[in-house]
């Protein structure tokens, strides 16, 4: 009888734990669902559409004179813009699962400084960065900003919410 009670207790705890996990999954916030949906939309774009979408996001964030220059011979910079009077070089990488590597960031940093004479750099990806790439970006955080796919989705969501708020006021 004692063994049966112990087994019953174990089964009860297991069922309770599973029910809790199901509850958490169902309770997943609307924000997380929207972020995932937004990120999937970004990943499904062509690289050129991703560049133009990023340019539009920058405009909405207050960047000025935003120009898409990406394509063959762009020397590692897809967008040029100005923010707070500073020239910003932007590289866009639409990756599905590949991570941005340190050599890719090194090339971008070199081109943004030597070829474009930019004051700041922004590297945008739909994916993530390798550990070495992240550490390199942190070494240059005064001149270089990096956005992951999740960062980009959060920015898009925030811009959409601001737009909805301004429409409600009108």
Mean pLDDT of 144-167: 86
Q: Model's pTM, two decimal places?
A: 0.77
Name the pairing type of β-strands 120-125 and 144-147.
parallel
Taking residues 141-160, what's their average pLDDT? 91
Confidence of residue 123 (pLDDT cuts 50, 70, 90): very high
pLDDT at residue 13 greater than cutoff 90:
no
User: Up-side HSE of residue 56: CA atoms within 13 Å toward CB?
Assistant: 9
Mean pLDDT of 9-38: 59
**pLDDT at position 35:** 63
pLDDT digits (tens, 9 = 90+) for 83-117: 999 999 999 999 998 999 999 999 999 999 999 99
Two structure tokens written together for 135? 């550490």
- Write the pLDDT tens digit of every residue in 35-80: 666 788 888 989 998 999 899 999 989 999 999 997 777 788 999 9
The residue with greater pLDDT, 1 or 16, is 16
Structure confidence at residue 127 (pLDDT): 94
pLDDT score of 167 more than 90: no
Q: Say if CB 123 and CB 137 are below 8 A apart.
A: yes
At residue 45, the 3 state secondary structure works out as: coil
Q: Are 130 and 101 in contact (CB under 8 A)?
A: yes
106 near 123, Cβ under 8 Å? no
Least Cα distance to 90 among 117, 119, 115, 124 occurs for 124
Question: What is the DSSP-derived secondary structure letter of residue 63?
Answer: -
């Amino acid at each position: 009888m004692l063994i049966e009670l112990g087994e019953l207790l174990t089964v009860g705890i297991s069922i309770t734990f599973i029910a809790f996990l199901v509850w958490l999954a169902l309770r997943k916030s609307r924000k997380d669902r929207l972020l995932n949906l937004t990120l999937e939309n970004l990943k499904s774009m062509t690289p050129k559409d991703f560049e133009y979408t990023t340019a539009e996001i920058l405009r909405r964030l207050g960047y000025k004179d935003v120009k898409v220059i990406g394509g063959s011979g762009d020397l590692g910079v897809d967008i040029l813009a100005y923010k707070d009077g500073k020239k910003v070089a932007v590289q866009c990488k639409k990756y599905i699962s590949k991570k941005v590597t340190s050599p890719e960031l090194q090339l971008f940093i070199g081109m943004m400084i030597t070829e474009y004479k930019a004051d700041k750099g922004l590297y945008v990806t739909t994916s993530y960065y390798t550990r070495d790439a992240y550490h390199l970006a942190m070494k240059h955080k005064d001149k270089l900003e990096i956005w992951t796919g999740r960062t980009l989705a959060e920015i898009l969501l925030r811009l959409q919410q601001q737009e909805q708020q301004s429409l409600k006021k009108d």
